[in-house]
């Protein structure tokens, strides 16, 4: 698999980069965009082979086999989804479970406590609390998902920086 990604990089990506590198120094933005679009397909193929198959399938299952870890649900059928939200939920099941348990649910309960505190200060029940709804309101859900997305992006960037500093 590493050989396939290397051949992909040397035979497809490197010639594209060499053909478009002078456009960057000449500030030809339309050609930079064209070069970026031409790199999209080989970069996606390389990412799916190296990260998707290499890390999420081979490496995690090897570690699970060596440690006799029974639950092998590292990813679910992300290739069959219709929405971006379902994709993010299914493609990395351990991260989704971690963020749901340790970030999303505490944010929901915090938002509920804040809403109750605000009602106590105003001495009047809000229309949203008069009718008992299931779960948090849409603004709370959206804010929670934004917080989780930013936290996930931050943690992934830390992993990449540590990997780069180690020479990987």
Q: What local confidence, expressed as pLDDT, does residue 151 receive?
A: 92
Dump pLDDT digits (tens) for 50-103.
Answer: 877 777 778 878 888 888 877 777 777 777 889 887 887 787 777 888 899 999
Q: What local confidence, expressed as pLDDT, does residue 81 receive?
A: 86
Q: What local confidence, expressed as pLDDT, does residue 150 receive?
A: 92
Out of 29-43, 84-98, 141-155, pick the least confident: 84-98
Give, in degrees to the nearest 5, the angle at Cα 150 between 140 and 158.
150
Catalytic sites, residue numbers: 156
Q: What is the pTM of this model?
A: 0.56
pLDDT category of residue 125 using cuts at 50, 70 and 90: low
Structure tokens at 49: 């082979």
Structure tokens at 42: 């080989």
Is pLDDT above 70 for 132? no
């Amino acid at each position: 698999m590493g050989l396939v990604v290397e051949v992909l990089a040397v035979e497809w990506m490197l010639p594209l980069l060499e053909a478009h590198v002078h456009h960057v120094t000449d500030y030809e933005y339309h050609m930079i965009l064209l070069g970026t679009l031409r790199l999209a397909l080989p970069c996606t193929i390389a990412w799916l082979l190296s990260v998707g198959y290499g890390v999420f399938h081979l490496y995690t299952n090897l570690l699970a086999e060596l440690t006799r870890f029974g639950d092998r649900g590292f990813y679910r059928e992300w290739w069959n989804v219709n929405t971006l939200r379902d994709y993010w939920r299914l493609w990395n099941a351990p991260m989704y479970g971690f963020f749901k348990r340790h970030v999303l649910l505490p944010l929901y309960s915090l938002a509920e406590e804040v809403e109750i505190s605000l009602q106590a200060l105003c001495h009047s029940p809000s229309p949203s609390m008069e009718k008992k709804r299931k779960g948090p309101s849409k603004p709370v859900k959206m804010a929670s998902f934004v917080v989780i997305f930013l936290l996930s992006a931050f943690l992934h960037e830390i992993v990449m920086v540590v990997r780069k500093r180690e020479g990987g």
